[in-house]
Amino acid sequence: MGRWKPDARTRLQEAALALYRKRGFAQTTVAEIAERAGLTERTFFRYFTDKREVLFSGEEALRQLLVSALESAPRSLSPIDAVGAAIEAPAGFFEQRRASARERQAVIAENPELQERERVKLASLASLLADGLRRRGVSDPTATLAAEMGITVFRISFERWIDDAGTRSFASIVREAFDELKSVSAGR
Amino acid sequence: MGRWKPDARTRLQEAALALYRKRGFAQTTVAEIAERAGLTERTFFRYFTDKREVLFSGEEALRQLLVSALESAPRSLSPIDAVGAAIEAPAGFFEQRRASARERQAVIAENPELQERERVKLASLASLLADGLRRRGVSDPTATLAAEMGITVFRISFERWIDDAGTRSFASIVREAFDELKSVSAGR
């Protein structure tokens, strides 16, 4: 057995983010990522379909966190509060990844194609939450509206958390944004 | 002078929608659209950049309607109600186009690339409304939240209006959706 090293997936992700930041997403090749990680291209393709996938591979974990939090939210919660509980659920997942989340966001902000991919991902998370609400017996349009508002809060909170110097938790930012949403929609 | 015919732009749009519906967006060529409209490909390209543009050429008119309605909304309105006034503004524009709007929506619903384009368009309308609110002196996050909620209501209302048998006006559907949004976010 060789000595311990961070696992190949993590090394590839770190190498990719560093290169995307340094020379731009479009200008980076899979060969360069593999080389920087001290691995082969073949290994890269064992973990990721392409270089874009490196930025979006956390999506499945996020989907599962949201769905299971929504499922286990107390039945007594209103639809919007059940969505609030789901949106707060990935807090721990994100807090462990603050530095790389910030790098990732900076890469996406500079590339329209990646921004489009991110928007599509968020739209699909909204559908996921709406489906979860329907399974809780919430009908439409309430299910769609609550889910869409939840994703808006999620997006705004995530950006704030990324921009924050590191003093505030994701969960507290989400709670504050939900309060703001309630006050805005009440017409205050 | 020849006999009167609908203008070339309208004829091209109608021909394109009919073909997209009949054989699918991807399978239709510009040559076929021009032929069906009794015009040349050269004429097509005088009006549209490509065959996708036929479906999205109303966007600029919509942007202008939203922006000018937001600008002229009474200063006394809360941010969410000013957004409500803007979202209702295209009612007349849509009512004149109900049949083609329905055809267009059916074409988009069947093509993931077009759905993505539509989502990007909606995201850009949300930014437009948020900018308009900031010009009215509304600060963030209120401006972003109100704009995003407005676009959610817009999307849901548009879909309902398309699905409706034709008895309800776009404006009344929008007003109802705003009331629902307020009640959902109040946790009812």
Mean pLDDT, residues A51-79: 93
Percentage above 90 pLDDT, chain B: 73
Same domain, A63 and A87: yes
CATH of the domain at B22: 1.10.10.60
CATH of the domain at B168: 1.10.357.10
pLDDT at residue number A1: 47
Contacts of A102 (CB under 8 A, 6+ apart): A162
* Structure confidence by residue, pLDDT tens digits, A34-46: 999 999 999 999 9
Alpha carbons B106 and A163: distance in angstroms, whole number:
40
Query: Which of B119, B145, B160 lies closest to A180 in CB terms?
Result: B145
pLDDT over threshold 60, residue A138? yes
Q: Is residue A1 part of a domain?
A: no
Same domain, A158 and A117: yes
Say yes or no for a CB contact (<8 Å) between B181 and A144.
no
Say yes or no for a CB contact (<8 Å) between B180 and A141.
yes
Q: Is residue B3 part of a domain?
A: no
Say yes or no for a CB contact (<8 Å) between A80 and B187.
yes
Q: Is residue B2 part of a domain?
A: no
Say yes or no for a CB contact (<8 Å) between A185 and B156.
no
Same domain, A43 and A84: no
pLDDT classification of B1: cutoffs 50, 70, 90: very low
Q: How far is B80 from chain A (nearest CA, A)?
A: 6
A137 touches chain B (CB under 8 A): no
Q: Is residue A131 part of a domain?
A: yes
Same domain, B41 and B125: no
Query: Which of B156, B180, B182 lies closest to A186 in CB terms?
Result: B182
Alpha carbons B46 and B142: distance in angstroms, whole number:
42
Q: How far is A149 from chain B (nearest CA, A)?
A: 7
Percentage above 70 pLDDT, chain A: 96
A150 touches chain B (CB under 8 A): no
Mean pLDDT, residues B23-46: 96
Q: Is residue A2 part of a domain?
A: no
Say yes or no for a CB contact (<8 Å) between B185 and A185.
yes
Say yes or no for a CB contact (<8 Å) between A182 and B182.
no
Size of interface A-B (CB pairs under 8 A): 79
* Structure confidence by residue, pLDDT tens digits, B144-165: 999 999 999 999 999 999 988 7
Same domain, A71 and A126: yes
pLDDT at residue number B170: 93
Q: Is residue A145 part of a domain?
A: yes
Domain count, chain B: 2
Residue positions counted in chain B: 188
Residues 103-132 of A with CB under 8 A from B: 116, 119-120, 123
Q: Is residue A73 part of a domain?
A: yes
pLDDT classification of A3: cutoffs 50, 70, 90: low
Token pair in block for residue A96: 């462990």
ipTM of the complex: 0.75
Same domain, A45 and A75: no
Alpha carbons B23 and A47: distance in angstroms, whole number:
38
* Structure confidence by residue, pLDDT tens digits, B54-82: 999 888 899 999 999 999 999 999 999 99
Mean pLDDT, residues B134-149: 93
Alpha carbons B129 and B136: distance in angstroms, whole number:
11
pLDDT over threshold 70, residue A180? yes
pLDDT at residue number A58: 87
Same domain, A119 and A169: yes
Contacts of A40 (CB under 8 A, 6+ apart): A34
Same domain, A72 and A91: yes
pLDDT at residue number A4: 56
Alpha carbons A12 and A15: distance in angstroms, whole number:
5
- Mean pLDDT of all residues in chain A? 91
Same domain, B78 and B151: yes
Determine which of A164, A185, A188 to mutate to test the interface with B (most B C-beta atoms within 10 Å). Answer: A185
Same domain, A49 and A72: no
pLDDT at residue number A113: 87
Domain of B132 in residue numbering reads as 58-185
Same domain, B124 and B88: yes
Higher confidence at residue A188 or residue B15? B15
Same domain, B41 and B92: no
The residue from A16, A31, A53 where one domain ends is: A53
Percentage above 70 pLDDT, chain B: 96
Q: Is residue B176 part of a domain?
A: yes
Q: Would you report the helix, strand and coil content of chain A in percent, each value rounded to 5?
A: 75, 0, 25
Angle, CA of A52, A58 and A59, to the nearest 5°: 85
- Mean pLDDT of all residues in chain B? 91
pTM over 0.80: yes
Q: Are B144 and A156 in contact (CB under 8 A)?
A: yes
